[in-house]
Structure 1
């Protein structure tokens, strides 16, 4: 086959894959149901995570390939056993807890959102989830866990990261592992998975300027989001808008406390952690995103 023929075949296969995933995504996005009483609704902070948002959350952000890759990387790097006790902070709709529990590991997930915990229990009633606050030192006794996870941007919702690392140090047994998801705040792709027209390739590689906006057509509303970063103040905003077919609008603003990776690593080490390892998530198509693994000294 000529080089032109090979190129044409590759483009054809790529287009088929894109159309296939787009059709799956379009079908899945017709499942939502929501009635908003007010013509305009604005939410911020923890109030965002109500039943409506939680019920569409997986459609917006869930990626099974990424979760599988993260789970196997954590297992390979930290070698948990049946004797391990694992805490997932910010467990959301429960997927990481489920994937680890399926490996016969002892896992509990906590989330500050009651709606998230309810949804996780609906998704995985056989596993353990509870409402909890990672900044509350009294949440767990000393030396409770062998492993603590803080994945998918959870750490950026925590303003006082020193308190977070101090608490994890207290809750971990000596020799325990803390795994934290961190990103290069200036380079990671803020487009949500269903809003990426290429699906398996980041459009950031081909854009002259960073793309920060996502648009998704749901069955009864149009979703738009935008990510903005204030580097000087280490603050990012993730603004979302839902415009319903009946003219009603819901807006919400998430504040992320986004220090640089180096600054966060320094805080962790000042709290006594040893940097044990790093996993680059580029292999699951999440470029400029990482899992940093810390060790509590024995």
Structure 2
């Protein structure tokens, strides 16, 4: 979103039904493993990866629809073999999941980010792009916006990926499972850098990812609630209006569409939709997304 449209969405959120929102780690999240690899420095949270362990955290609640964001500064220097992830996921074998995976590099090479999306337990929807800035030099925002019409991945408010609801075409869409919010850093040198050809150099450890400004502006779901109850609770009706159901957020506007085209034209290095070796038949959603038209 543009800064102005983002501000307007914020105002709408204030005027409509209140939802969970915060910027403090301890209010929203808790460590999920390797507590001794966490460091708190004022408002900053640092996660450490060494040759003993990585680390990760998870939201205390689960959510359905809305927006989650973090400010993140990635591992500096030679980070080959490491992966820092920020994602949403439900539970079970038929889970839904939205992934940001930041793939480490050797010094001087561009950082790449891989996104993926699982629906009913099926993933294999990877897209990869080289970021247009050095994400290890400063903090940048990474966000996932989700409603019943679309899932949008954003970097500094620029959309880098959209997954549109195409249920009317017989293609499943993730809209019925509450999801937790997670982040972690771990060693993945079997695949993360140049397909696993470049291994982690542990002489550069510890590898540190730094976080701040955690925000969840979404519909909080009780852990014991049934799926149908969550879907009903988090959808607008006559007596409640949620900001994520506003008509202006049902698809990208023209400016956002142009931003997305710029990203794809200049920074995308891999798209599963174009990988004929993996998918001799083009995945159905790729055929329909290719003909996407922005809202005017």
The one of the two structures with greater contact order (alpha-carbon pairs below 8 A, sep at least 6) is 2
Taking structure 2 as the reference length, the TM-score comes to 0.25
Larger radius of gyration: 1
Hey, which of these two has a bigger chunk of helix by percent?
1
Structure 1 or 2: more strand by fraction: 2
TM-score, structure 1 normalization? 0.25
